[in-house]
Amino acid sequence: MLKDNFEAVEAKIQAACKRAGRKRDEVTLIAVSKTKPIPMLREAYDLGNRIFGENKVQEITDKVDALPDDISWHMIGHLQRNKVKYIIDKVELIHSVDSFRLASEIEKEAAKKGVTADILIEVNVAKEESKFGVMPEDTIELISNISNLPHIRIKGLMTIAPFVDNPEDNRIYFRRLRNLAVDIGENKSDNVTMSVLSMGMTNDYEIAIEEGATMIRVGTGLFGARSYR
C-alpha torsion angle, residues 11, 15, 21, 26 (rounded to 10)? -30
> Counting contacts by CB under 6 A, is residue 202 touching ligand PLP?
yes
> Counting contacts by CB under 6 A, is residue 34 touching ligand PLP?
yes
Shortest CA distance to 89 belongs to which of 72, 68, 66, 67? 72
Count Cβ atoms within 10 A of the Cβ of residue 20 and give its class: 0-12 exposed, 13-18 middle, 19 or more buried.
middle
Q: Which residues make Cβ contacts (< 8 Å) with residue 197, sequence separation at least 6?
A: 156, 157, 158, 177, 178, 181, 212, 213, 214, 215
CB of 35 to ligand PLP, least distance (A): 9
DSSP state letter for 51: E
CB of 207 to ligand PLP, least distance (A): 13
> Counting contacts by CB under 6 A, is residue 60 touching ligand PLP?
no
Q: Which residue is nearest to ligand PLP (CB)?
A: 219
Instruction: Spell out, one character per residue from 145 to 184, where the chain touches ligand PLP: x when CB under 6 A holds, - when not.
Output: ---------------x------------------------
> Counting contacts by CB under 6 A, is residue 212 touching ligand PLP?
no
**CB closer to ligand PLP, 107 vs 204:** 204
CB of 111 to ligand PLP, least distance (A): 27
Interacting residues toward ligand PLP by CB under 6 A: 32, 34, 55, 76-77, 160, 201-203, 217-221
